[in-house]
Amino acid sequence: MSFLDHIRRCNNADLAQFEPWFVGEHRAGFVHRDFAASTLQASSLFKRSGGAWHLDPRLDTPQKRTAEVHAFLLGLRAAGHFNGLWREESYTVAPQEGAPVLMEMERSAVPWFGVRAGGPHMTGYVRRADGLHIWVPRRSYEKPTFPGQLDNTVAGGQPAGLGLHENLVKECGEEASIPPELARQAKAVSVVGYWNQSGQQLKPDVMTCFDLELPGDFTPRANDGEVHSFELWPVQRVFETVRDTLEFKYNCNLVLIDFFVRHGMLSADDPAFIPIVAGLRMMYAPGNVSG
């Protein structure tokens, strides 16, 4: 295992298996050819033209699109899609960060439609006489996704209607019992992007990395059942665990590798240094298709 292996694992998408779908002139995401054939083709909401799928143009406002697509997705859920992972949580659909929102979509459906998602991922660290230490949580063994794996100190998806920092403060309280006045001190320091494929699902995601220096006498506590436990690890132990194992949730490795780069733990003379740094920010689709 190596840092580059983690980057490759996150960037395993084969876009030859997918076709874009559009809302008007804006590309909203990608759908797998098999998923499109089994679901979109029978729906009046989507039409295929020019090698792409297009949402019905009569849906000319974000509100109309959100309502009609949600009803369509409820039908898919009733037919057994989404593997029981329906969240009742909406994500925004936009062609790129900062662009006008085209609509909102149920979180569990987002990867089926190849919509770019993301959220805040925070590394909580402590300075001690013997160096940096990182608070490492183990995910609850009851979670439906990646149970029992190691995670970033605090992380979460980005729901519609919340700012990134606002969402991080909320997640800090829910996942780690970090009070708001402390959580607000977290600093946005970087972004990590990747294109990950799992079967017919595509995640062209961008995670916003935050750092928070925590007081030496503060101990995070699991609050909402998302986390099994927290342990304070020397940063070198985190470094070696990421480098040598698959113990961390797959995309959390990238956030930690970014932390290692920013804190000078990788040598610029390492032949893998530039590929690692470049590989952390795959913001555009393979083949130079705009992300």
Question: pLDDT tens digits for 131-160?
Answer: 999 999 999 999 889 999 999 999 999 999
Q: Read off the pLDDT band of 289 (50, 70, 90).
A: very low
Nearest-angstrom CA–CA distance, 54 and 211:
40
Domain map (residue ranges) of the chain = 3-11+117-279, 15-113
Which of 2.40.110.10, 3.90.1170.50, 3.60.21.10, 3.30.750.160 would CATH assign to domain 15-113? 3.30.750.160
Mean pLDDT of 223-236: 93
pLDDT in tens, 152-164: 999 999 999 999 9
pLDDT in tens, 253-264: 999 999 999 999
Which of 3.40.640.10, 3.90.79.10, 3.40.50.980, 3.40.30.10 would CATH assign to domain 3-11+117-279? 3.90.79.10
